[in-house]
């Protein structure tokens, strides 16, 4: 049987952003949260163009005739994706200007545009412009002596149409004004001047209103904001380099000047100026997006963060610190004894990230702890966790940190942390060239009664306290020696050299994770064919790997009941007769970002449950170092099944069902209203 075409990855990513945008469209979403969702979509689209559209353009240049697994050529895929992206951007801007901003203004939060300024506001803005803005601006009149300036990725720029003669007798035509990155994009206006409690002016408004001050004696015919998005995927020839950190540092400096992939322009920009910019950047009509509002909508996230109006946001949720970490565990020995007594499951953000910090604090301060080993993918610029590792190294403990330098858009932060760790004597490794280290694990070695005992933390998410408040992830604190020995083996493989090692409990990419998942799917398939009960449930961020999808199709044809919860891109076509009629796929979009990866196989009642750092994608299975770890404790296993699957499959408020053609519709059932996030906040938060 010919393998069926899979759904297009880029179109599926755009559909995910449509679902995020739907949260901004909901009337029951608080107003500032509606704006926040709009900003999230805008930020997501930036990365989408920087990486995915850039990749499509490369495919058009290098392999124009290649048909992808979705049955589309690069040209066909590009056309469909650009068409869908334009519709999404139009919908996003319409929602911003017609609903969200007017409703915010009605409750005293908003932007003051020049068209509505009174005299007091105009005078205040004029003084601000002359005092703080104009000294920083360098207008560039385009002529043979002043070529088009080099434009930074996603920087704010203005194109100004001019007439008249300047002091040298030069005829005015076109000038470019670049907004320096040092200037704030949003300025708070005093309430007495704004006339509302939370009034702001955008830098774009100030420059557009007073741009004539930059061109004395000339006539300004128009001033229009624009920005260009560039290919931001880094290329490092990993076979040629001798020092990854140095090579990456050099590449980062050029990231902001990659090939142009998108042009965003003000809605009112005349066609001749649009064509001028398109020609300058080698872009066409399909690459050009007219926006009604700021060309960088994501900048409005500052408004969300600077306005203190709790009634316009989600009610504050403070996650509980679960037992026994909420009690008297002041001594490191008590904490390690609690972990020895049994595994502890953490479900963030419903439960606090504090136990992880307590675990590492105990490791850093306990004189019996001799070594700490940890992987770092993303952790943030101001990280308490990294401070603990620095303290431990200063205290003379053996600290080994595997830092993934190629964590996209966090490269510079990770380079900085690597340098600081090395300065205090930590052993810093960058993992395996050609394989990103995406596994999340921390291992503590403690000397007890003359022997080394290991304690570990494994997770589905990053060691990032800020994202632990908004990303849903599972973590496991364990003293299971087989599991911890496996972790130690993996660390040795990452920092040293040696043959592939047999692990007792953990699954590892690029070695055993994919083959084990395939075997587990096949086991359910065989059980179904034998007339036995068979069941598969899996939760992840993305499902793209063709081999795994084909195995799921085969399982469906055998009669296995399959439920998949895929937050983002999904290439699998569910509900197709003769192929996938036993597969249901849903996506949960709500207050928190669904991020955990959980895999369930019935296994004739044994119920194998794995937590993992890996999505079911080619890169996770074959080009990354990933982990899958079993949940062995029966009570914790039951918790994972309920919290990852049972409640999510009953949700009828946040869930979307995938149709065979890849469209998403809101999931409905006749049960009482069920909101997964609210349910788990109540259940785990108390």
Separation of alpha carbons 682 and 595, rounded Å: 20
Cis bond upstream, residue 324 (ω within 30): yes
Strand partners, 428: 401
- CA angle at residue 419 from 414 to 421, to 5 degrees? 95
Separation of alpha carbons 62 and 65, rounded Å: 9
Residue closest to 265 by CA, chosen among 280, 254, 253: 280
Separation of alpha carbons 374 and 402, rounded Å: 6
Query: Is 60 strand, coil or helix?
Result: helix
H/E element, 376: strand 369-376
Residue closest to 204 by CA, chosen among 179, 174, 176, 175: 179
How deeply is 320 buried, as exposed, middle or buried, from its count of CB atoms within 10 A (0-12, 13-18, 19+)? Answer: middle
* 3-state class percentages of the chain: helix first, strand second, coil last, to nearest 5: 40, 25, 35
Residue with tokens 């055998």: 558
Helices 9-25 and 31-47 pack at an angle, to 10 degrees, of 160
Separation of alpha carbons 223 and 240, rounded Å: 47
Separation of alpha carbons 317 and 456, rounded Å: 28
- The 8-class DSSP code of residue 242 comes to S
- State the catalytic residues: 438
CA 227, 231, 233, 237 torsion-angle sign: negative
Query: Is 311 strand, coil or helix?
Result: helix
Computed on alpha carbons and rounded to an integer, the radius of gyration of the chain in Å comes to 27
**Phi–psi pair at 285, nearest 5 degrees:** -60, -40
**Phi–psi pair at 299, nearest 5 degrees:** -60, -25
What is the DSSP pairing of strand 471-478 with strand 219-230? unpaired
Residue closest to 38 by CA, chosen among 21, 55, 56, 17: 21
Residue closest to 429 by CA, chosen among 391, 498, 501, 374: 374
Q: How far is CA 154 from CA 120, 231, 255, in A?
A: 33, 11, 11
Give the max Cα distance, the chain.
90
- List, edge to edge, every strand of the sheet that includes 198-202: 109-111, 198-202, 186-189
- Residues ≥6 apart with Cβ < 8 Å to 639: 345, 347
H/E element, 373: strand 369-376
- The 8-class DSSP code of residue 515 comes to H
Separation of alpha carbons 20 and 593, rounded Å: 10
Strand partners, 202: 186
Tell me the two tokens of residue 584: 């249901």
Query: Is 348 strand, coil or helix?
Result: strand
Separation of alpha carbons 446 and 336, rounded Å: 9
Separation of alpha carbons 345 and 14, rounded Å: 34
């Amino acid at each position: 049987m010919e393998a069926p075409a899979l759904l297009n990855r880029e179109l599926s990513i755009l559909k995910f952003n449509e679902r995020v945008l739907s949260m901004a469209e909901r009337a029951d979403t608080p107003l500032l949260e509606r704006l926040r969702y709009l900003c999230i979509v805008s930020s997501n689209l930036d990365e989408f163009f920087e990486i995915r559209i850039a990749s499509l353009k490369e495919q058009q240049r290098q392999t124009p005739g290649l048909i992808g697994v979705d049955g589309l050529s690069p040209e066909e895929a590009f056309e469909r994706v650009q068409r869908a992206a334009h519709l999404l951007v139009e919908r996003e801007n319409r929602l911003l200007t017609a609903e969200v901003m007017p409703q915010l203004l009605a409750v005293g939060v908003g932007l003051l545009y020049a068209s509505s300024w009174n005299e007091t506001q105009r005078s205040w803005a004029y003084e601000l412009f002359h005092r703080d803005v104009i000294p920083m601006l360098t207008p560039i009149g385009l002529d043979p002596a002043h070529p088009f300036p080099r434009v930074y990725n996603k920087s704010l720029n203005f194109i100004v149409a001019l007439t008249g003669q300047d002091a040298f007798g030069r005829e005015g035509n076109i000038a470019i004004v670049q907004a320096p990155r040092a200037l704030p994009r949003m300025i708070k206006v005093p309430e007495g001047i704004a006339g509302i409690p939370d009034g702001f002016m955008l830098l774009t408004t100030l420059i557009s209103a007073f741009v004539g001050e930059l061109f004395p004696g000339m006539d300004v015919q128009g001033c229009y904001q624009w920005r260009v998005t560039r290919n931001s995927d880094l290329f490092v020839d990993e076979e040629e380099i001798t020092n990854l950190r140095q090579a990456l540092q050099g590449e980062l400096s050029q990231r902001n000047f990659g090939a142009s992939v998108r042009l965003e322009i003000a809605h009112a920009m005349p066609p001749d100026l649009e064509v001028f910019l398109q020609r300058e950047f080698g872009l066409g009509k399909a690459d050009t997006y007219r926006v009604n509002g700021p060309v960088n909508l994501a900048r409005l996230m500052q408004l969300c963060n600077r306005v203190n109006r709790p009634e316009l946001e989600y009610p504050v949720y403070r996650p509980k610190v679960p037992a026994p970490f909420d009690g008297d565990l002041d001594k490191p020995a008590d904490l390690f004894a609690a972990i020895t007594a049994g595994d502890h499951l953490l479900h963030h953000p419903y439960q606090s990230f504090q136990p992880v910090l307590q675990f590492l604090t105990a490791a850093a301060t306990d004189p019996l702890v001799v070594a700490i080993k940890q992987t770092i993918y993303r952790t943030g610029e101001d990280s308490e966790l990294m401070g603990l590792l620095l303290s431990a190294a200063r205290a003379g403990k053996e600290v080994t940190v595997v830092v993934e330098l190629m964590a996209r858009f966090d490269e510079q932060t990770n380079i900085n942390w690597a340098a600081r760790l090395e300065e205090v004597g930590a052993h810093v490794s960058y993992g395996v060239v050609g394989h990103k280290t995406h596994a999340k694990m921390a291992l503590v070695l403690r000397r007890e009664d003359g022997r080394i005992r290991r304690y570990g933390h494994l997770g589905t998410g990053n060691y990032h306290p800020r994202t632990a408040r908004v990303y849903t992830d599972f973590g496991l604190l364990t003293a299971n020696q087989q599991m911890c020995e496996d972790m130690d083996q993996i660390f040795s493989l990452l920092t040293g050299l040696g043959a592939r090692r047999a692990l007792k409990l953990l699954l590892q990419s690029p070695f055993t994770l994919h083959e084990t998942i395939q075997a587990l799917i096949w086991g359910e398939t065989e059980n179904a064919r034998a007339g036995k009960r068979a069941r598969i449930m899996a939760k992840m961020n993305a499902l793209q790997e063709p081999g795994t999808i084909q195995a799921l199709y085969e399982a469906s044809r055998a009669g296995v009941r399959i439920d998949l919860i895929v937050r983002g891109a999904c290439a699998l076509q569910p509900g197709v007769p003769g192929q996938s009629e036993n597969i249901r796929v849903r996506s949960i979009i709500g207050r928190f970002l669904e991020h955990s990866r959980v895999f369930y196989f019935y296994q004739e009642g044994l119920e194998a449950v794995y937590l993992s750092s890996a999505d079911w994608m080619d890169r996770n299975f074959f080009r990354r170092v990933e982990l899958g770890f079993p949940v062995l404790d029966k009570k914790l296993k039951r918790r994972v099944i309920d919290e990852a699957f049972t409640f999510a499959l009953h949700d009828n408020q946040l869930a979307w069902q995938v149709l065979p053609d890849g469209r998403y519709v809101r999931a409905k059932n006749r049960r009482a209203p069920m909101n997964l996030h609210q349910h788990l906040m109540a259940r785990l938060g108390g």
